[in-house]
Amino acid sequence: MTKQALSFEKALEKLETIVQEIESGEVPLEKSIEKYAEGIELVKNCRTILDAAEKKIQLLAKGEDGSLTPAGEMEDETDRPDEPAP
Amino acid sequence: MARSDLSFFDPSKARGPREGPDVGRDVTADITGGGEPAAPLSVSGLLGRVKAALAGSMPQRVAVLAEISNVKLHGSGHLYFRLKDEHCAIDAVMWRAQAARLKFRPLDGLEVVAEGRVDVYDVRGQLQLYVERLTPRGEGALELAFRQLKEKLQAEGLFDPARKKPIAPYPRAVGIVTSDTGAALRDIRRTLARRWPAATVYLAPALVQGQAAARSVADALAALDAAADRLEIDTILVARGGGSLEDLWPFNEEPLARAVAACRTPVISGVGHEVDVTICDLVADARAATPTAAAEMAVPDAAEARQAVSRLAQRLGRAVMEDLVSARAALAAVLRSAAFRHPTARVRTHAQRVDELSHRLTGGLRRRLAEAHRRLTAPAGRLAALHPAALKERASGRVEKLLHRLRWALGRRARKAEDRLGNLAHRLDAASPARRVRELRQQVRSAERQLEALSYRNVLRRGYSVTRDARGRLMRSIQQVRPGETMQTQLADGTVHSEVSSATAATPAPPAPAPRRTSRGKGRPPPGPTLFDS
């Protein structure tokens, strides 16, 4: 449950931008190698997010001030034998 | 119908079928009391009797088919309206408890079946229908209610596509509003886990059935939306499994619809089965046929996302590789270029240029040198010409002529030499221009000396001499020497050194400047006047 520095969407967007920049050929070589390193980092970031373990459902309950706060995890129901998840 | 209703008020008929022992007896007695007018009644008494008569003769509950008009919903919650047909009308009231349960809105012109009891409203002595149940005619109350709310919200623009917020393609967290015990939650949970396990899932449990459900769902939605920023919830699912129209009804209620519309977070609605459409579906930013479909809509497929990342990674690698390849090619091109293969070429080019400039420089220098020489040699020629001129005064015309010729010859020679020098100077190579010029000058000088020598030696041979004083100066006057001093007299074949004994001024007879010629007196015949005076 480690928090990612970037959301998957942001990481993907940034990666896309970097690829397009390098592909455009308008970036100096030194810069494009720099960007490449950054891109590789983003690819790793994206894959880490994708490989994240399945999370339990956080049950929310109303606090004293009326706002919702996590009140624990729900029991896992997805492993029921009747309909095995693919 | 109104007319037939009126017949119920016929006292004789009222008495007939129902002869109750309690109220009925009194009424009958009062009205039929001997046919003569009874004692006057108070209004209250009258209405009391009417009410009693009504209660005795009318069924406890009647159903009236009518059109609604003059609808007024009082602040107290009671609903007042009028029921009418073509000719007649009767006021009606529906108490708050019943009115609140109405699904549809009793609007003017609506055809309804009103069920309730008839009674007199004492205050105004008015006949009134106390409605307990109101149902629209021709369609179900729920269908009507649905249609009414749909039209209302549509008019407000709540279904407007422009209002709909885009669903986040990769939500960080997903909020769910549904029952924590229903099948809908299980379906959603399973789908989210399969497609996008990265997203955190938050559940805000709500009642999804019954009177309190709409409010419960609306509250859960609002609370979840308020917590969305804090919990990074990018999408909210409102879901409920299938059921009857009545089961799904909360999702057709206005408070719930308004709560969905008020959400800042995009809402996906997945209520009931494929065939069911709820108001909630219509207001939501996206509508899914089932809870499972809603979950699929909420998150991307991780497998697809993985492919997208891989494609980008490949493009990234290719792109930078292309950059490297082209940079390498550019470098190779530079290395292949002449400048790199022959690094000294440029230096050589420069050297050549330097040579060229230096050549031009020395050329210029040479020309100026030659010019300087010309200037130097010219006076030398003149000097040579001057020397014989000194003899001129003592020489005859012939000598003069000869001198002229000599001078001319000398000059010509000098000029020729100069010309040659000039020509040559241009062609001189760097190594020897100065030497050649010196040589030429040497030649010119020796030629001059020869000429000079030739010129006055001939004169000497003819008997003339040149006398110089002790210091070597030409003697032109007797004044130049004193007795006892030495003189040198040059003759054709040698020099005589002598000592002056005396000097005598020349007699005026000969016009020649005799004093200047004192030196000639030694061993030499006096010069014939012809030679110098010609």
Mean pLDDT split into 10-residue runs, chain B, 534 residues: 44 43 46 64 91 90 93 93 93 94 88 93 92 87 89 94 93 94 91 90 93 94 94 95 90 95 96 89 95 95 90 89 82 76 71 81 79 75 59 56 70 71 61 62 70 67 81 83 86 87 72 47 46 40
Asked whether residue B87 falls in the same domain as residue B135, the answer is: yes
Instruction: State residue B88's pLDDT score.
Output: 93
Asked whether residue B183 falls in the same domain as residue B129, the answer is: no
Asked whether residue B494 falls in the same domain as residue B454, the answer is: no
Q: Which domain CATH number covers B125?
A: 2.40.50.140
Residue A45 maps to a domain: yes
Of A36, A57, A67, the CB nearest to B201: A57
Instruction: State residue B424's pLDDT score.
Output: 63
Which residues of chain B have a CB within 8 Å of the CB of A43? 309, 312-313, 316
Q: How far, CA to CA in Å, does B363 sit from each of A20, B366, B418, B430?
A: 64, 5, 18, 8
The DSSP call for residue B261 is H
Instruction: State residue A68's pLDDT score.
Output: 77
Q: What range defines the domain where residue A25 resides?
A: 8-50
How far A15 CA sits from the closest chain B CA (Å)?
Answer: 7
Residue A57 maps to a domain: no
Residue A30 maps to a domain: yes
Instruction: State residue B36's pLDDT score.
Output: 63
Q: Which of B167, B310, B320 to mutate to test the interface with A (most CBs of A within 10 A)?
A: B320
3-state DSSP assignment of residue B62: strand
Instruction: State residue B107's pLDDT score.
Output: 87
Sequence letter at residue B44: S
Per DSSP, chain A holds a count of helices (H) and strands (E) of 2, 2
Chain-wide mean pLDDT for chain A? 76
Instruction: State residue B388's pLDDT score.
Output: 58
| C-alpha to C-alpha distance for B280 and B270, rounded to whole angstroms | 9
Who's near B88: CB < 8 A, 6+ residues apart?
A: B1, B2, B3
Instruction: State residue B381's pLDDT score.
Output: 61
| Contact yes or no for A21/A35 (Cβ under 8 A) | yes
How far A56 CA sits from the closest chain B CA (Å)?
Answer: 7
Q: Provide the number of structural domains found in chain B.
A: 5
Q: Provide the number of structural domains found in chain A.
A: 1
How far B320 CA sits from the closest chain A CA (Å)?
Answer: 6
Residue A32 maps to a domain: yes
Query: CA-based angle A28:A30:A33, to the nearest 5?
Result: 105
Q: What range defines the domain where residue B42 resides?
A: 2-139
Instruction: State residue B99's pLDDT score.
Output: 92
Asked whether residue B178 falls in the same domain as residue B291, the answer is: yes
Residue A71 maps to a domain: no
Which residues of chain A have a CB within 8 Å of the CB of B203? 57-60, 74
3-state DSSP assignment of residue B121: strand
The parts of chain A modelled with pLDDT lower than 70 are 1-5, 75-86
3-state DSSP assignment of residue B79: strand
Instruction: State residue A57's pLDDT score.
Output: 81
Of A16, A19, A68, the CB nearest to B204: A68
